[in-house]
A and B are shown apart, each in its own frame.
Chain A
Amino acid sequence: MTNGKDHVIRLSEVWTTYEGADLPVIRDVSLQIKPGEFVVIGGPNGAGKTTLLETIAGLLPVVNGTVHVCGLDVVKDGCCARKKIGYVIQNFDFHPYTPFTVEEVVLMGRFGKIGWLKRHTSRDLEKVASAISQLGLTSMQKNQIGKLSGGQQQKVLIAQNLAKEPEILLLDEPFSNLDMITREEVCNLLCKVADAGIPVLIVSHAFDALPDRDIRVVVMQHGEITLNQMSHPSKVEELVRSASVAA
């Protein structure tokens, strides 16, 4: 048994709901994640995977239990916790003429860290340039985000969260708009992030480009965790499938 202090994410008997929902969406979920873990969250549609990420990010009301991220209680101190959390959302739709460039959008990821009444520094711009470069977006950094393809926009949002220098990284369907080669590149990048000690949690239905390293597989069904174990990447799809069928 661990005392939980070495876990950067600690969920204890968490129940989460949306306003107006008939039943809690997340039910009695406990989960502990250590630094550097690579976590794949699977399960059928409507199982509560996105809700789990939103709960960790402190974006939903927790009706019971506790959620701690990097030692902070996200229910009481969600805003401070989110400065340490990178979260790439699933659904986004930017108007073609949205008046923001790729560079500006990536910089926005650091705004919370920069804080009130302060302007960005050269260090902030360095982090932005580095994240843009890592995602291969340098040639389009002055382009308007709305004019990029869905996959390129997805990469911009990943760059935004890398530029933030998060202490944990959550990604909701990060591969959904990406081609096979880009998917592998992004996955390798996320692997490096995890190697640097930052836990990476991915909600995904695509298991064909997972990195060659130990992966924690979490399967959700009806708002509950039905499987939570370490696995080799080649076994992830089979585990998710069998756990979903069994549940």
Chain B
Amino acid sequence: MLEFIFPNNVMCHAVEAMLFASLGCALLSVLITQMNISSIGFTMSHAAFAGGSVGAFFGYAVLPSAVLVSILTAFLMGPLSDRTRMHTDTTLGVLFGTTMAVAIFFIALMQGTGKGFDASSLLYGNVISLYREEIYALVIISLLIVIFLSVFYKEITAIVFHKRLAEIAGIRVKPVYYGILFLISVMVALSIPIVGGLLLYVWLVTPAAIAYQFCNTMRNMFIMAPAVAVIMSIFGALIGVQYSLPVGPLTAVLFSGMFVIAVAVSPKRKVVIHKH
């Protein structure tokens, strides 16, 4: 897609992947931070990890198995938190423990039977060895997120503000809420091969955390968070590929640095003292 800008094929794939993954993740990060469900990042990463290990044990490809289990977990998440009458974050904690246990269980079984399982691609990712189909999948999910947010913007903002008040306003909260959880899960599953499960958390929280330092409205956050994420991710990809540095960790460090700067210069820290 961007070959006309980046003739180098490796560089082009890396930039494309980082562009679309950061765009989708950053849009979702606004919802994740405002809905206080930031543990969804590592829960879904571990669901993918569990899926990969189960797939490897039964002789299936690791990545499709990881994506499949992430999506199944996504389907479970909303109804489970409603059914158990617990806060979504508590349900995520339970699912995190379960998927982690499943992953370790099957890895231990494989070690016992002499089967090998390389989890490094799921943990750390590898942006320069992606298939074109994986990039297309990222484009599609990013577009789906943009469409979903545009079509249901008013319902989403009402739910993010106050679920109970949204329900009282006559909004059907559950389908929209489950839709948000599902999109987050799919985005996480597809982004894992790029930056890895361990660093994905940065994409799902930090862009919105940076935008939050400057924005007073959701609309502005939805503009600033993806803008910051896309610029920093492409910058990370360019520097990483150019100087043979690990792209994921480098980008994560850049995000963290930017967050520190944002907090330092945020107008929200301003204290006004009027003596008269």
From A92, A99, A111, contact of B170 by CB (8 A): A111
Question: Which of A57, A98, A100, A105 interacts with B168 by CB under 8 Å?
Answer: A57
Q: Which of B34, B166, B170, B216 contacts A144 (CB 8 A)?
A: B216
The answer to whether B169 and A82 have CB atoms under 8 Å apart is: yes
A82 & B168 in contact (Cβ 8 Å cutoff):
yes
Residues of A close to B34: CB separation below 8 A: 99
Q: Are A99 and B221 in contact (CB under 8 A)?
A: yes
Establish whether residues A101 and B171, one from each chain, have CB atoms under 8 Å apart when the complex forms.
Answer: no
Nearest CB on A from B147, distance (A): 12
Which residues from chain B contact A108 at a C-beta distance below 8 Å?
154, 157-158, 161, 165-166, 169
Q: How far, in whole Å, are A83 and B218 apart by their CA atoms in the complex?
A: 24
CA distance A111 to B162 in the complex (A): 13
Known: A59-B168, A85-B168. A99 touches B215 (CB 8 A): yes
A-B residue pair count with CB separations less than 8 angstroms: 72
Please name 20 pairs of A and B residues whose Cβ atoms are closer than 8 Å in the assembled complex, sorted by A: A19-B85, A79-B172, A83-B169, A83-B170, A89-B165, A89-B168, A99-B220, A100-B157, A100-B161, A100-B217, A100-B218, A101-B217, A104-B217, A108-B154, A108-B169, A110-B169, A111-B154, A119-B154, A120-B154, A157-B165
CB within 8 Å for A111 and B166 given contacts A98-B161, A100-B161: yes
Distance between A75 CB and nearest chain B CB, rounded to angstroms: 15
Which residues of chain A are within 8 angstroms of B162 by Cβ–Cβ distance?
A: 92
Interface size class of A (residues with CB under 8 A): 20 to 34
Residue-wise, chain A 153-194 has the 8 Å CB interface mask toward B (1 for contact) of: 000010010001000000000000000000000000000000
Q: Are B167 and A82 in contact, CB atoms less than 8 angstroms apart?
A: yes
Give the complex CA separation of A108 and B165 in angstroms. Answer: 9
Within 8 A of A (CB), among B248-267: none
* A113 adjacent to chain B (CB < 8 Å): yes
